[in-house]
Structure 1
């Protein structure tokens, strides 16, 4: 029995799961205390430096426009997510992997909400691990040689 859930509800559930609870109001940077803005600027720079990304700073005072995401775009991104992570993988020579209860429960919610009938948490973890290895495999080999 599959529930018919709106894309807005699914997005909210996914955001809650990821720990990114959508705020009901957006703070204007001008209304924040100066030391808070300075701390946020430093933490953003640190995160960007750690990620190895060079992001140009905004030097002018023009406000950034926040664009709304349409329902069609959300559905498309959900389909991309399903295709990447919620397809049933063929797993041979299985080995156990241990997860904390909270992580297991969170992954189980995703599989129940968005996965197909034969999808499991093990399949989701397998897909996540494969995606990670595809993305970082060459870098890992280069780092191993350092």
Structure 2
């Protein structure tokens, strides 16, 4: 794996070397939770403790995905009523990404402008009080 992927997964970069496991197959002791890793830094060996607890990857069922899609549609893909329209400028890549979402999941009358309106309303509802408090600082 490359170093970026290893950092994302919580592993150390590939320049580390792991010590071989010294437990014999005949012993029935509990394996240690940590192992010693040796890093070479400027020609010196520095021991470091690393936690070897396995990372649990949880699968999302199709039912959970459908429920989250329905929640997303209810929050962002309902056709809003926009009274006094004003233009908003987006980069082409952002506009294309939003347009793709609207075409895939939106209803017949849904538009990118409606999606941006819904996202903005949600943002203001979530952070409105904080924005007012920050304004007074």
The two structures have a TM-score, normalised by structure 2, of: 0.64
Task: Say whether 1:88 aligns with 2:69.
Answer: no
Q: Which of 85, 88, 91 is matched with 1:97 structurally?
A: 88
Cross-structure match for 1:126: 117
Output the CA distance in 1 between the equivalents of 2:15 and 2:136: 45
Q: Which has the larger radius of gyration?
A: 2
Q: CA deviation at 1:102?
A: 1.2
Inter-partner Cα distance in structure 1 for 2:69 and 2:88 = 27
Alignment of 1:41-120 (within 5 A): 61-120=52-111
Question: Once structures 1 and 2 are overlaid, which stretch shifts more, 100-109 or 126-135?
Answer: 100-109
Structure 1 or 2: larger helix share?
A: 1
Larger RCO (CA under 8 A, 6+ residues apart): 1
Which residue in 2 is equivalent to 1:42? none
TM-align CA RMSD:
2.2
Count residues with an aligned counterpart. Answer: 98
Contiguous gaps of at least 5 residues in structure 2: 17-49
Indicate the structure with greater strand content.
2
CA deviation map 1:39-80 (0-9, x unaligned): xxxxxxxxxxxxxxxxxxxx9542221101111111111111
CA distance in 1, matches of 2:81, 2:15: 54
> In 2 relative to 1, CA 128–30 (structure 1 residues): closer, same or farther, beyond 3 Å?
closer
Unaligned runs of 5+ in 1: 1-25, 36-58
Show the 5 A alignment for 1:18-33: 29-30=10-11, 32-33=13-14
